[in-house]
Amino acid sequence: MEILGYALALLIGLSLGLIGGGGSILALPVLVYILGVPEMEATSYSFFVIGLSAWVGTFQKIFEKLIHYKSAIIFGIPSIISVYFSRWYILPNIPSKVPMLGLEIEKEQLLMLFFSLIMIFAGLSTIKKRKNHHHHDEVALNHHHHLHPNRWALLSVFGLGEGILTGMVGAGGGFLIIPILLLVGKLHTKKAMATSLFIIAVKSSLGFLGDLTRFHPNWWIILPFAGISIVGIFIGDYFALKIKGKILKTIFSFFLILLGITIFVIELLS
């Protein structure tokens, strides 16, 4: 089982390198169900693996001049603040079992069910947006970016909400960040994915450092896992350079929907 877990670490890096997200939501079930890491520790391990891998991918995107720093700051700072608020104040106060529809649902299961529905919604929203505007070419990669001030304010509000949600399950949040940067921030697909990777790198690193006060990580598990994931980042980035932005957006959208449905079904049956 350990060999399978480390093999899947390659897929996690591939996801981050190719579409700028999705790695953390893959890392959690691999760490818990295959490598046997306790659920609460797995969220912190996920922060480390995704953070380190995302930094490697970010340095590549800096070299390629794909990161939109203004969007990263306006979205990222509220997101980082709300991640800490979520993990230190909201998560500890959620009961371990939540009554719902006459049943008592485990806290972790409820969060994952909710999260999977958000993933499906984000994927469908991105596809719908693309279909509604199929007659327009995607904004040029080197287009000078202008947004109405209300849009920048809205981007900050979405950053707060995304940070709260991803903080509760220890996810980097790329599957939410990318649709927000595409639909609200109006970024080119490749810039949205690169900017997402940068935000994930910063946020995951800070999330892991904050968790170090509560537990001592097993470095024998997370360092090899992160190393293999980094290899996947390089492979994913190589292919991302060769694929058009509109195709990447389609891949990302269907990836979100499929993964969201899969997680929802697994949690219902567990």
- Residue 241 reports pLDDT greater than 80: no
Separation between Cα atoms, residue 193 and residue 191, nearest integer Å: 5
Q: Which domain holds residue 107?
A: 2-269
Model pLDDT, residue 63: 87
User: Between the CA atoms of 40, 233, 20 and 211, what dihedral angle is there, to the nearest 10 degrees?
Assistant: 20
Q: What are the tokens at 262? A: 């899969």
At 12-51, the pLDDT tens digits run 888 777 766 666 667 777 887 788 887 778 878 888 888 8
Most confident among 48-57, 154-163, 200-209 (mean pLDDT): 154-163
At 130-148, the pLDDT tens digits run 555 444 444 555 555 566 6
pTM over 0.85: no
At 174-212, the pLDDT tens digits run 677 888 888 888 888 888 888 988 998 888 888 788 777
Q: What is the domain count for the chain? A: 1
